[in-house]
Every structure is written in structure tokens, then in C-alpha cells.
Amino acid sequence: MFGWFLRGAASRIRTTTYPHQSDSSPGTTPGRPVATAFADGQEAQRAADMCPVRAIRAVDSTAEVDLSRCVHCLSCVRGTAAMKWKNDYNWAVSGCGGTTTTGRAFRKSLSIRLIDTGSCDAVIQEVKQLAKPYYNMHKLGFFITPTPRQADVLMVTGPVTSHMRLALKKTYDAMPDPKWVIAVGNCAISGCVFAPSFMSGGAVSNIIPVDVQVPGCPPPPLAILHGLLVLTGREQEIDEARATTGVEEKK
Amino acid sequence: MNQRTHPTDDNIMISMLKELGDIVSNILESESGRLLAAACRADTLSSAVAWLVDRRKYRFATLVVQALPSGDLLDYWFYKPDAGPWVKLSVRLSGQARTVPSISEHVHAVDWHERQAEDLFGMTFTGHPKLGDFVLHEEWREGVNPMRPEFDAVKPMVEKEVDPRWHPEKILRTPGAFLMPIGPVYSDCAESAQFFLETVGEDVVRMIPRFFFKYRGVEKLAEHRSILDVLLMVERFSGTSAVAHATAFCRAVETIGLVAVPPRGEALRLIGAELERIRHHFSLLSDICHSTGMVVPSADIDVMEEESLRLSAQWSGHRYLYGLVSPGGVARDFSTSELALLSNGITGLAHAARRLYERLQFTSSFLDRFEGVGVVPMLNARRLGLVGPIARASSFKTDLRIHAPYGFYRHCPLAVEALESEGDGYARIRVLFAEVFASADIIKRALANLPDGPVMLPEQAVPAGEALGYVEAPKGAAFHYVRIGENGGVERLQLTTPSFTNWHGFHLAAENFAFQDFPIMMASFGLSIAESDR
């Protein structure tokens, strides 16, 4: 066992410098398509037609992106009318019909309960990464808690299948006030490729109020971390992400 | 679906005619010689299956039920490792008939397939010991079967009021016995499933799982959609094995279209699949170390897992390799520098994994929790038709990359199948590590022998037809049945996933072991619920 102690002590620190400095290590994020100006409207329409989930819309000669529908299939960057791509991750948006940020008391101490309502395994793996050495959200005061009774934040993944609807409501009701909800991944935000259907009602916000949305398929750990920081008022959301996620329209 | 190696199997068609002539009819061999289709009546199904499984040593692959205008059609697909064509036994029911004899008593692997067909299609399997409440839970109205053609896939389901007095049935009736329910929402970041553990105090006597909380109806949603739309869902229903499932689906579509993927495309698919396997196994091993509270080794593996995710993103643009595989090949080509980056990354990861494995093998507090715990005996693994690393840890040979090589595995074979004989938790860990090293090795060899040329065929219309695509996914054998209609859309999709197959055998490991070992058993089985629930 002593060998493990030495092994642990000898390992170098790998934790991300985010949020103190932005993290630009390669491979931390898949990036996102951003609004792209084309030569004419026809070409913008060609770019929009490349998208299998209609997340891109041609407005005059610009192709605009709805990030909450994008499934990261990357077909829009491989076509002839290629979209511009931005390798950032701070795209979480708040105020999606729920309350605002948590306020001072929870800034540096927040307990999170995850509930999986039909997501693919990948998004849960990305949430798990937050508690692992590379992202280590514990240093920011964020912790995963086993029970909803101790949770301040409910993180919801997946398109809310019919069989999980009751479990979601019960989990939400079991949480003490004040409480907040983060919808992680496009499945939770819009149902994505699995909705509308006989098993999924689409968005989590149809069932319980949502405070912060983290788009992505799956969102990288840094984006989820950004969502938590936006919720606690420690990071600003970027206006551009707000515009592309269509939060205003939904209100 | 490989070259025929055993001359005795060449005449399965002849021996089937000779020995089963009065039971089966319409025996047809496909042009490629890879598939033997035969029809039989419902009442003689069991004898035909018994002949195939007992006499000819065939294994069950999947059961595909289809509701066609002329009546229901049940296709039982079988394959034989290392030999012979695949066999499809069809039972056609006429009119409104929905009753078929159950064969699960003889071939246990069919058990859950029959339960699933009962819920989704309203079939009745006479002689099956337990039907009902499987895919569809108590919220679902009785008598409504979502896979029937008249059911609307898009209309939201009207839920039934659940009886608040509902509780699971207890089987154990000794004094002091109690039932411990776990889930669907339980501690840690876990997927949603429910387990009822019946116990008299220390040992788990019975373990009854309840799945399909995450049932999204992917197979129903796929109907009447375009191939590319369905590919998006197939890739995303189980994100941790996206490449494997996308490849299985695309292989089925390519078989229908009778097209051959360019060699470079096949090689890149292999590289993607093996990179995914390495990352997937790291994630399982991390869970295993977490379950025993080994902080330093789990942190070590977490680092490797994140590094393999970053490597995937740097190489393909996506951390989980979405959007890599597409019908006819892979979506993009890679430059020499990108391939070199991958090669270096893999070398580093394999080296780190090897060092960690050497350390773990000498950590007694770790090994004590796994040795002799959660044992799946070889006979039981065979009886339930388990697949993947779990079966291989019980020395049950199931690796389709070796026993039915496909794609680039034909040119770049896997050196050796990772087999262990004990069938306990430790054997499963050894298999996972051995597969990581084997995957790193095969990626290196594929990179060294990477053919030149295009990576993808030009887009072309797919004719109507049906096919079964298969791959060895990180968790084991995956079979995708696809039927394409006249208009080029998907008419029927059936996903038979390794998690679905293996959860059926999970009780073998969990029962008769101590209560506190349950999380360790879950981790060492390492199965996905998203993959099994679909």
C-alpha cells in the first residue's frame, strides 16, 4: 500500500486551470459551429441543408446555428459550404424559464444530484469526469451527493422517458428549497433525436422548471463546469451563446 | 460470414434437407453463400432449433419479429463460430395469429427476446415461465403494443394511473427475509435501473432486475426514416460504444446494397473501433477501482480515460467519435500527421496501462475483493449465451473479431483472444487489461499496413432488402437487423446489444454473494443500461 502512496505523491497535478484561466488544451472540447457569413443566400441555404437535424438556418446570406439542436455530427464542417467552427466551451445559458442564479450562500458550496432520464452513457461519463483529476470540481466547492434530500442542484440528462417521469418528479419534490435544475445535453434541452415520441415528452422544462441549460451532444466537462459556475454567479454567460441557444424565443 | 474453413459445414444445407426435410421448407442459400434461410411451422420450431443448436453447435444471435401486412414473421438468427453460413429460421404466422411456442427452455438466450416481443408486439409464447412487465412498465395501458404498425410513434403516450399499492413480488418466504430495492435513482452518478435484492441478512439470495426505465423506443422511431437519420440515433442511443453500433448498422446497410467498403475505410473503422474499446475499458476499470475505494489507481485510470477522450477529439473532432462512421466507409480521411499523433498517443496510453496493471496485480487489498467473487461458471455462460469480456473471463470463446472476422479484421487479425478460466471478478479485470493491450497492438499494425485510396464510396441509393450487421462492440457481440423499404427508408430496425444479452446473466454473479459485494459486481460486469434499454 505504501507504494500507492508514493505513486500518488509523485503524480503531477493535471487539474485544469479553468476558471482562473481559460483552458486551451487540445481535445477538451468538440467545439461548436458558429454563425457564418456566406457569399450569397444560396450558399447559406446549402450549408443549412447539410444539417440532418435542422440546427442551421439561413437568414439572408448568413447561416445561423441553434446550438440546442446541434448533435455534433460534424457534417456541416465537412461539406462544400463549410460552417465556421469555434473551439470554446463556455456556452451554458441561464434563465431558461426558471429562477435566476443561486446567490452568495451557495457560491462556494453546492451539492449536486444527477438523475438520468434516458440519456446515452456518454453524457454521464462527462459528468463523472468533473469529479476526476483533470477537472476536479471539488476545488470549486461543487460535490456530487447521493441523495436528493441533501442536494441543491438537480442535474438532469436524457429526454425524460415516460418510465422516468414519475422518478424525476419525485426526486425534484424530495429536494429541499431553494433548489435549482440544470439540463445537461441536448436530449434534456429539446429531446434532440429522440423526441417528440411516444416515450419522450421532449424537454425537461416541460416537467420541472429549468434554470441553466448546457447544450452539447454530449457537452464536454468544461461546458458543464461553466454551467455550474453560471448558476452560482461566478462566471458570465456569453451573449453569443444566448442568442444561438434560442432561449429568448422560448420565453 | 467468413471463408468456410470446416469442410463438414459446407453441406449444412444438404444435411438439413436430409435430416430436417419434413420439418423445414424453402431452404435457400444466399448468392454469397453466407446465409441459409429456411422456413418452418410454429409447432415444429423447437425440434428444428434443437437440431441446429445441439447437433450442429449453432449459437443464437437474435430474434427479429416483424408485423407485416400478411401476418407476423419471426426470424430466429443463428451463427456458428469459425464456420459455415449463418442460419435464419423463419416462422410465418397467418392473419391475426400471435401464438408461438417458447424455445427459451431449450435455448436460454432467447428468454428475454421472447419477453420483449411479448411486450412490444403482443406475441404469446406458450410455455414461457414469465411473460409481461418487461419493457413496458405499470404506467403502460395493457393491450397496447408499440411496435405494431398501427401504433403512432410520435403521439405522446397517455399514462395509466399507477396503483400506489404496487410492490414487487417476494419470492423468499423464510422468517427474517426482506427485500431491498435499489433504484431507479440511487447513489453516485449511475444510470437508471432497478434491482430487487432478496436477502436474509448477509447474502443476496435472489436478484431480480427491472430495466427499460430508459426505453426511448429507438427501434420504433427508426421506422420510415431515412438511413442517415437512423444512423444519428444508432450512434447516440449508447454513446460509449458509438463507433461499434454505427459500424454494425452501416455494415447491414452495405450488405443490403451489395457494396464493398474501400480498404482504407475499413482500416480506419477498425482503428476507430479499437480506440473506442481502449477508452471504454479504461472507464470500466476506473469504475472497478472506485468500487473498492482504491483512490490512487482509479485516479491513474481516470487520467488515462480523459487522455484517450482528448486523443479521440484531437484525432476525429469528437470525444466519443460521433460522426466518424458513415454508410460506405468513414466520413473523412486522415493525414499522416494525424495518424502519427494517434499512434504516439496509443503508445503512451498502453505503456501507462501496463505499469498500472503490474502494480495492481500485487495489491492484495484490491485482489481480495475480486478473487472468487461474482463467479460465472463456463457452463452457465454458455447456457445463457453471454458475450464479450464477461464470457471470455469464463473461457467461453465469443470474440466475433476472431470467430467471424469482418471488415479489416480479415487482413489484420487479432493476435489472440483474451481468455481466462476462473470467471470471477479478477478474471474479468485481466481480460479487460489484456484487451486494452491487444487493441493498442492491432491499431499499431493497422496503421503500419494502412492501405491507400478512398475512404468512402460515393453516395448511392440502397435497394430494398434485409440484412443482419454484426460487430464485436466493446461489451461484446452486437447484431443490428435492418430492413430497407422500396423508397430507401428504414422499415424495421432491431438492435441486439451486448448489454441486453449480458444483463440476462447478471444474476449468476450477484446471487449467493455478500450484500456489500453488489456494487463491486456491478462494476466488474460493467454493463450499460442505455445500451440495453435502447
Please say which residue of B95, B126, B157 terminates a domain. B126
Chain B residues whose beta carbon lies within 8 Å of the beta carbon of residue A125: 239-240, 283
Please say which residue of A86, A104, A124 terminates a domain. A86
Please say which residue of A86, A105, A125 terminates a domain. A86
Instruction: Say yes or no: A184 and A211 in one domain.
Output: yes
CA separation, residue B79 to residues A51, B61, B314, B404, B468 (Å): 38, 6, 38, 9, 11
Whether B40 is covered by a domain: the verdict is yes
Could you check whether the bond before residue B377 is cis, i.e. omega within 30 degrees of 0? no
User: Which site among A193, A194, A222 would you substitute to test the B interface, given the most B Cβ atoms closer than 10 Å to its Cβ?
Assistant: A193
| Region of poorest pLDDT, from A53-57, B162-166, B420-424 | B162-166
With a CB cutoff of 8 Å and minimum separation 6, the contacts of B81 are B59, B397, B398, B403, B404
Q: What is the per-residue pLDDT for B285?
A: 92
Please tell me the total count of domains within chain A: 2
CA separation, residue A108 to residues A138, A231, A234, B168 (Å): 10, 11, 9, 42
Closest-approach residue (CA) in chain B for A120: B238
Q: What is the per-residue pLDDT for A248?
A: 46
A110-116 β-sheet, strand order? A93-94, A212-214, A180-184, A153-157, A110-116, A142-144
With a CB cutoff of 8 Å and minimum separation 6, the contacts of B122 are B98, B143, B145, B148
With a CB cutoff of 8 Å and minimum separation 6, the contacts of A66 are A55, A56, A57, A244, A245, A246
- B225-226/B325-326 β-pairing: unpaired
Residues of chain A with pLDDT > 90: what percent?
A: 18
Whether A135 is covered by a domain: the verdict is yes
Q: What is the per-residue pLDDT for B524?
A: 87
pLDDT digits (tens, 9 = 90+) for B452-493: 888 888 888 888 888 999 999 999 999 999 999 888 889 999
* Type of residue at B303: V
- Structural Rg of chain A based on CA atoms: 19
Beta pairing partners, A36: A63
Instruction: Say yes or no: A156 and A36 in one domain.
Output: no
Class of residue B379 by CB neighbours under 10 A (exposed 0-12, middle 13-18, buried 19+): exposed
Give residue B142's pLDDT band: very low, low, confident or very high (50, 70, 90): confident
CATH of the domain at B28: 3.30.460.80
- The answer to whether the Cβ–Cβ distance between B312 and A53 falls below 8 Å is no
- The answer to whether the Cβ–Cβ distance between A167 and B185 falls below 8 Å is yes
Angstrom distance (rounded) from CA A141 to CA A106: 9
Q: What is the per-residue pLDDT for B437?
A: 93
Question: pLDDT at residue B181 above 90?
Answer: no
CA distance A25 to chain B (A): 9
Distance of CA B386 to the CA centre of its chain: 10
Whether B44 is covered by a domain: the verdict is yes
Whether B231 is covered by a domain: the verdict is yes
Instruction: Say yes or no: A51 and A150 in one domain.
Output: no
- B329-330/A62-65 β-pairing: unpaired
Distance of CA A37 to the CA centre of its chain: 26
Q: What is the per-residue pLDDT for B500?
A: 92
Question: Which set of grid coordinates corresponds to residue B30?
Answer: 444466399
* Nearest-CB residue to A162 (from B157, B220, B303): B157
Whether A153 and chain B come into contact, CB under 8 Å, resolves to no
Instruction: Say yes or no: B254 and B395 in one domain.
Output: yes
Chain A residues whose beta carbon lies within 8 Å of the beta carbon of residue B311: 27
Instruction: Say yes or no: A172 and A207 in one domain.
Output: yes
Instruction: Say yes or no: A169 and A201 in one domain.
Output: yes
Angstrom distance (rounded) from CA A137 to CA B406: 43
Angstrom distance (rounded) from CA A53 to CA A139: 38
Instruction: Say yes or no: A77 and A151 in one domain.
Output: no
Q: What is the per-residue pLDDT for A250?
A: 40
Chain B residues whose beta carbon lies within 8 Å of the beta carbon of residue A123: 239
Whether A54 and chain B come into contact, CB under 8 Å, resolves to no
Whether B332 is covered by a domain: the verdict is yes
Contact (Cβ atoms closer than 8 angstroms) between residue B120 and residue B132:
no
Q: What is the per-residue pLDDT for B441?
A: 92
CATH of the domain at A175: 3.40.50.12280
CATH of the domain at A82: 3.30.70
Angstrom distance (rounded) from CA A94 to CA A7: 41
Report, as an integer, the average pLDDT of A193-212: 85
Picking from B488, B244, B253, B310, the residue whose alpha carbon sits closest to that of residue A121 is B244
* Type of residue at B389: P
Whether B22 is covered by a domain: the verdict is yes
Report, as an integer, the average pLDDT of B98-115: 88
Q: What is chain B's mean pLDDT, rounded? A: 86
Q: What is chain A's mean pLDDT, rounded? A: 84
Picking from B391, B278, B275, B294, the residue whose alpha carbon sits closest to that of residue B341 is B275
Instruction: Say yes or no: A48 and A110 in one domain.
Output: no
Instruction: Say yes or no: A104 and A162 in one domain.
Output: yes
User: Which site among B189, B220, B357, B367 would you substitute to test the A interface, given the most A Cβ atoms closer than 10 Å to its Cβ?
Assistant: B189
Cell numbers 430492413: residue: B483
Instruction: Say yes or no: A140 and A203 in one domain.
Output: yes
Angstrom distance (rounded) from CA A19 to CA A26: 17
Chain B residues whose beta carbon lies within 8 Å of the beta carbon of residue A147: 187
Contact (Cβ atoms closer than 8 angstroms) between residue B148 and residue B67:
yes
Question: pLDDT at residue A100 above 70?
Answer: no
Instruction: Say yes or no: A231 and A129 in one domain.
Output: yes
Whether A10 is covered by a domain: the verdict is no
Residues of chain B with pLDDT > 70: what percent?
A: 98
Question: pLDDT at residue B178 above 90?
Answer: no
Q: What is the per-residue pLDDT for A96?
A: 62
| Region of poorest pLDDT, from A72-76, A149-153, B271-275 | A72-76
* Nearest-CB residue to B159 (from A121, A148, A162): A162
Whether A1 is covered by a domain: the verdict is no
Question: pLDDT at residue B6 above 70?
Answer: no
Whether B166 is covered by a domain: the verdict is no
Whether A37 is covered by a domain: the verdict is yes
Question: pLDDT at residue B188 above 60?
Answer: yes
**Domain interval for residue A156:** 93-250
**Domain interval for residue B386:** 226-508
Please tell me the total count of domains within chain B: 2
- The answer to whether the Cβ–Cβ distance between B317 and A30 falls below 8 Å is yes
Closest-approach residue (CA) in chain B for A75: B323
Instruction: Say yes or no: A125 and A46 in one domain.
Output: no
pLDDT digits (tens, 9 = 90+) for A147-184: 899 999 999 998 988 888 888 998 999 999 888 899 99
Q: What is the per-residue pLDDT for A97?
A: 53
Class of residue B30 by CB neighbours under 10 A (exposed 0-12, middle 13-18, buried 19+): middle
Whether B12 is covered by a domain: the verdict is yes
Please say which residue of A86, A114, A131 terminates a domain. A86
Question: pLDDT at residue B144 above 70?
Answer: yes
Whether A13 is covered by a domain: the verdict is no
CA distance B235 to chain A (A): 10
User: Which site among B216, B228, B333 would you substitute to test the A interface, given the most A Cβ atoms closer than 10 Å to its Cβ?
Assistant: B216
CA distance B233 to chain A (A): 6
Chain A residues whose beta carbon lies within 8 Å of the beta carbon of residue B322: 71-74, 217
Report, as an integer, the average pLDDT of B56-81: 89
Instruction: Say yes or no: A77 and A98 in one domain.
Output: no
Q: Which residue has the higher pLDDT, B198 or A80?
A: B198
Sign of the alpha-carbon dihedral angle for A23, A25, A28, A30: positive
Give residue B519's pLDDT band: very low, low, confident or very high (50, 70, 90): confident
Report, as an integer, the average pLDDT of B51-72: 88
Contact (Cβ atoms closer than 8 angstroms) between residue A177 and residue A102:
no
Chain A residues whose beta carbon lies within 8 Å of the beta carbon of residue B137: 163
CATH of the domain at B453: 1.10.645.10
Chain B residues whose beta carbon lies within 8 Å of the beta carbon of residue A129: 302, 305-306, 309
Question: pLDDT at residue A229 above 80?
Answer: yes
Whether B212 is covered by a domain: the verdict is no
- The answer to whether the Cβ–Cβ distance between A27 and B295 falls below 8 Å is no
